[in-house]
Structure 1
Amino acid sequence: MSDALLSTLAEALAELVTAVETSDDEVLDPDTAVKWLEGTAATLSALPAADRRALDGHFRAAALRHPEGPWRDELLKVSEGFGLTEDTHAAACEALARQARRFVATVRDADPATPVPTCPGWTLAELTRHLGTVHHWAEHLVRTRATARVSAQDVPLDLPGHPAAYPGWLAAGAEALVTTLRAADPDTPLWSPGPEPRAGYYPRHVLFEAVVHLADAQIALAGTAEPVDPDTAAEGIEHHLATLLYVPWTAERIAHLDRDADLLRLTARDTGTVWTLMLGGGGFTWRRGSEASAARTEPTASVTGDSGDLLLLLHRRYAADDPRFAHTGDRALLDAWLTATAL
């Protein structure tokens, strides 16, 4: 089964389950509803852990494609109702730990003064300090159960005096963060810079920060980034899209694009997954699908590349003119989008 087909089926199931859960007793007999849902839960409980985690990701992505409101809130409960969230949280923590180790291994023996071309004006030392600061900041938020925004500048860093010691400092901070995240209930209410105000938002948020900054370090040292796992890249793309309107400066830029009714399509060459962005109303919505389903509508502009390359394109680590990508349609729309969404 293709990833795009699985995503579509998961979204349909989430919508159906939510419709059942929110139906009035006069419309649907409660005993019948419970019987349906218990049967589905029993079927899903037999899935291997990896498949359960993947399904949770699809449910969550489907929910976050909806605007804020009661319907999205109910959709976000589907994974919890089926008992999928615990494994997913643990898996995200482990993925974050692995990514931090990869970053440390990449920069540990490198010259801290090496320029990072994808972060103009930064060196490897500053890149490492930045990522380590993100670890300390997220650990502080989750440990203190902060329900209001805390600036990273207000979090103690205990930064070493010499940049050569930064990788070890980052490793220790990442270990502390993962320990705190593993001990946290993912549903603990918490301020977040995105659409999910809970502790469970942070493992993935920091994971994708680490994925992009590992690519920065690899490009600085080798001229190119190593391939990103397609599933991780797809989650990263959707995390990015779901978060953009929660960042004040990107939300404002998107609101002023003046491209109402335009469609921007991203197609993953390696998996066939398609993301269609629909601009308008001072913002945008997006939908994940397959190449077959996307063929029914003609986009204003499209870009095709491997999943990991598309993730790095959206974060402006690769230029749109890079030969990794193929384009059709109004190229000015893609350029305007990348400029407006620069973080």
Structure 2
Amino acid sequence: MLEAIDIHADALKRAALTAGPAARVPNCPKWTVHDLVAHIALVHCFAIGLAMNRPAKPAPPPDWEDLLGWWDGQRLALREALGQDPGSPAYSPYPGFDVTVGDWTRRMAHETAIHRLDAESALEEAPETRFSPEFANDGIDEFLTYLAPRLGRKTDIRVTTPERTWSLGEALAEVDGPADDVYRALWGRPHRASVTGDLAPVEAP
């Protein structure tokens, strides 16, 4: 998962530099590329404090070049913070839920991967990025069994990929397809999965 953070952050940065800070992000219509980079840089900085059990209130610099440099520094610090024993307790912003360093590593891998897709959507010719079934299935599991409950999202859903099935609650919605597409569907990104029912109460806000 540490390697995944690096891979997807590098790809996100390449796309951001190519698109430019003023480019719109079709996956997140309210954002520019500058907004997207500020968000992921802030999240990475926030995760450092959580992994070290010292919550911080980061403030990304507004200038584009300064922001890129600041993010580079946060990425190095994030790797160091997440390089601890994965089982070490970390700060949890979710009342009633314990969190470990390994949880934050996994969370940042998937957070960065999804926002990589957002950055690439800002390009005139977006690459055909596809996540491996192993990574995408882990992302589905992380979303359904870890993140959604902590965010108070409903998980009355049945999700099926060629490799795995999740049956949670009353299954008011069903999603079926390749793991990569199901992963994107749960995050509200463009996908080719089959969806039955209303995904809105489940998908990422």
1:170 alignment counterpart: 71
Contact 2:82/2:105, CA 8 A, preserved across alignment: yes
Provide the residue aligned with 1:110 in structure 2: 19
2:144 equivalent in structure 1: 241
Task: Identify if the C-alpha distance between structure 1 residues 326 and 341 changes in structure 2 by more than 3 Å, giving closer, same or farther.
Answer: closer
Letter of the structure 1 residue corresponding to residue 8 of structure 2: Q
In the TM superposition, residue 339 of structure 1 has moved relative to its aligned partner by 3.6
Does residue 274 in structure 1 map to residue 164 in structure 2? yes
Matched, 1:308 2:180: yes
Give the structure-1-normalised TM-score. Answer: 0.53
With over 3 angstroms needed to count, the CA separation of the structure-2 counterparts of 1:308 and 1:193, relative to structure 1, is farther
Matched residue, 1:33:
none
Instruction: Give 3-state SS (helix, strand or coil) of 1:273's partner.
Output: coil
Q: Is the 8 A contact 1:189 1:198 kept in 2?
A: yes
The match for 1:209 is 111
Partner of 1:338: 200
Aligned CA distance change for structure 1 residues 199 and 211 (closer, same or farther; 3 Å): same
Give the equivalent residue in structure 1 for 2:89. Answer: 189
Instruction: Give the TM-score normalised by structure 2.
Output: 0.84
User: Within 2, Cα distance between the matches of 1:185 and 1:325?
Assistant: 36
The equivalent of 1:41 in structure 2 is: none
Deviation by residue 1:171-221 (Cα, 9 ceiling, x = unmatched): 221111002211x22222222356552222111111100010001111121
Shift of 1:106: 1.8
Secondary structure class of the residue paired with 2:176: strand
For the pair shown, which has the larger CA radius of gyration, 1 or 2?
1
The answer on whether the counterparts of 1:115 and 1:124 sit within 8 Å (CA) in structure 2 is yes
Alignment of 1:74-89 (within 5 A): none
Residue among 317, 326, 332 paired with 2:194 = 326
* 1:1-343 alignment, distance < 5 Å: 92-143=1-52, 145-146=53-54, 150=55, 154-157=56-59, 159-182=60-83, 184-193=84-93, 196-221=98-123, 222-223=125-126, 226-242=129-145, 243-248=147-152, 250=153, 254=154, 264-268=157-161, 272-280=162-170, 302-318=174-190, 324-326=192-194, 331=196, 333=197, 335=198, 337-343=199-205
Q: Report the residue type matching 1:245 in the other structure.
A: P
Tell me how far apart the structure 1 counterparts of residues 174 and 50 of structure 2 sit (CA, whole Å). 38
Relative to 1, partners in 2 of residues 1:189 and 1:102: Cα closer, same or farther, differing over 3 Å?
Answer: same
Contact 1:135 1:173 in 2 (8 A): yes
Higher relative CO (Cα under 8 Å, sequence separation at least 6) belongs to 2
Given residue 29 of structure 2, which amino acid in structure 1 is its aligned partner?
Answer: P
Does the 8 Å CA contact 1:100/1:171 hold for their aligned counterparts? no
Letter in 1 for 2:99: P
Q: Which amino acid aligns with 1:189?
A: P
Q: What is the number of equivalent residue pairs in this alignment?
A: 201
Paired residue secondary structure (2:90): coil
Pair 1:325–1:171, CA change in 2 (3 A): same
Q: Which ranges of structure 2 fall in alignment gaps of 5 or more residues?
A: none
Separation (CA, whole Å) in 2 of partners of 1:306 and 1:114: 30
Q: 1:339 to 1:114 in 2, by over 3 A?
A: farther
Structure 1 alignment gaps of length 5 or more: 1-91, 285-299
Higher helix share: 1
